[in-house]
């Protein structure tokens, strides 16, 4: 059974035992998951820029800023161009017992007409049903790398898992985290706001922490795809993600700080 830190501290206070402020103030532990890698190249820009390269570059920048700005302990599912199956990403994340999980990707459209037209940022959290056709297509594309046998098993159990997840704090916090990060991304980049969406992403299914998947832009778009390859724009994206995480953690910290007993006001004569 997993206790929230505030619950544990409350029990200690009730029992009259000393509490550790150091435990309450430990650095957040965050897993950053750059999508794809190795032979799994992901989507491609009109100029040949690969999603696997962009996601890793942004992931490294996010790690650096989370460590520098928030004092976070950041672990990467991959820190080089290597193939890493989706189940191994989930297993790695859960072994770290993280406070948050951030998966970074680039989106793409399949046809010449839509590639020229569609751009923007989408942020996802887990759901059994996709918010719309765009969300379903994004999940299908990212889930294509899952082993067929494991993907089938995940699909067959997803509704059952989510029935439980819908009532858990981790799932509610995934939604809050998605909105916090998405708002910062749109404000910082001025990118097209394609919304916070829900979809059955394999890599989010089973992560035992608030978890989101960020589609930082459409690499298939001629303009946005070019921006995604530029260092300064990647830094803007990483800064926005970091600020979104900061905002979310501040909200959670306020919510989970144990409230002291109310002291009655002295009676007036």
- For residue 123, what are its two tokens? 């942020």
> Given this model, what pLDDT does residue 45 score?
96
> Given this model, what pLDDT does residue 8 score?
37
> Given this model, what pLDDT does residue 265 score?
55
Contact of 194 with 83, CB cutoff 8 Å: no
- Give the residue among 205, 36, 48 at the shortest CA–CA distance from 106: 36
pLDDT-flagged residues of the chain (< 50): 1-24, 149-154, 156, 160, 163, 166-167
- Give the residue among 192, 30, 217, 213 at the shortest CA–CA distance from 104: 213
No. of H helices and E strands in the chain?
10, 6
> Given this model, what pLDDT does residue 167 score?
47
What's the rounded Cα separation, in Å, for the pair 16 and 10?
A: 10
> Given this model, what pLDDT does residue 68 score?
98
Contact of 68 with 112, CB cutoff 8 Å: no
> Given this model, what pLDDT does residue 259 score?
75
Q: Other CB atoms closer than 10 Å to residue 182's CB: what's the count?
A: 24
CATH fold label, 24-256:
Aminopeptidase (3.40.630)
- 263: CB partners within 8 A, 6+ apart: none
Give, as one character, the DSSP assignment of residue 203. Answer: G
Kindly provide the residue ranges of all beta strands, DSSP E only, lying in 89-235, ordered along the sequence. 100-107, 121-126, 193-199, 211-218
Which tens digit of pLDDT belongs to each residue from 142-167? Answer: 888 876 544 444 454 555 455 455 44
- The bridge status of strand 100-107 relative to strand 211-218 is parallel
Residue at token pair 């006001």? 265
Contact of 181 with 212, CB cutoff 8 Å: yes
Kindly provide the residue ranges of all beta strands, DSSP E only, lying in the chain, ordered along the sequence. 29-34, 73-76, 100-107, 121-126, 193-199, 211-218
Which tens digit of pLDDT belongs to each residue from 90-126? Answer: 999 999 999 999 999 999 999 999 999 999 999 999 9
Contact of 83 with 90, CB cutoff 8 Å: no
> Given this model, what pLDDT does residue 251 score?
94
Return the half-sphere exposure (C-beta side, CA atoms, 13 A cut-off) of residue 266: 2
- 132: CB partners within 8 A, 6+ apart: 197
Query: Residue 89: phi, psi to the nearest 5?
Result: -65, -45
What pTM, to 2 d.p., does this model score? 0.83
Buried b vs exposed e over 15-40: b needs ≥16 C-beta within 10 Å? Answer: eeeeeeeeeeeeebebbbbbbbbeeb
């Amino acid at each position: 059974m997993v206790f929230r830190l505030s619950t544990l501290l409350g029990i200690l206070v009730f029992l009259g035992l000393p509490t550790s402020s150091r435990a309450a103030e430990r650095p957040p532990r965050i897993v950053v998951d750059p999508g794809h890698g190795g032979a799994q190249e992901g989507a491609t820009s009109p100029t040949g820029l690969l999603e696997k390269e962009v996601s890793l570059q942004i992931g490294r920048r996010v790690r650096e800023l989370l460590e520098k700005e928030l004092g976070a302990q950041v672990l990467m599912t991959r820190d080089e161009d290597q193939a890493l199956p989706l189940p191994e990403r989930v297993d790695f994340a859960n072994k770290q017992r993280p406070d948050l999980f951030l998966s970074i990707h680039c989106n793409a459209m399949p046809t010449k007409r839509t590639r020229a037209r569609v751009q923007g940022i989408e942020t996802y959290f887990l759901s059994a049903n996709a918010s719309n056709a765009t969300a379903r297509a994004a999940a299908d594309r990212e889930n294509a790398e899952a082993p067929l046998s494991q993907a089938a098993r995940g699909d067959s159990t997803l509704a059952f898992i989510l029935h439980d997840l819908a009532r858990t704090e981790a799932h509610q916090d995934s939604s809050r985290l998605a909105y916090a990060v998405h708002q910062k991304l749109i404000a910082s980049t001025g990118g097209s706001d394609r919304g916070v969406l829900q979809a059955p992403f394999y890599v989010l299914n089973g992560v035992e922490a608030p978890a989101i998947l960020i589609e930082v832009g459409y690499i298939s778009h001629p303009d946005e795809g070019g921006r995604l390859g530029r260092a300064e724009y990647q830094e803007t994206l990483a800064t926005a993600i970091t600020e979104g995480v900061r905002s979310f953690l501040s909200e959670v910290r306020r919510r989970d700080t144990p409230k002291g007993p109310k002291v009655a006001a002295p009676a007036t004569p």
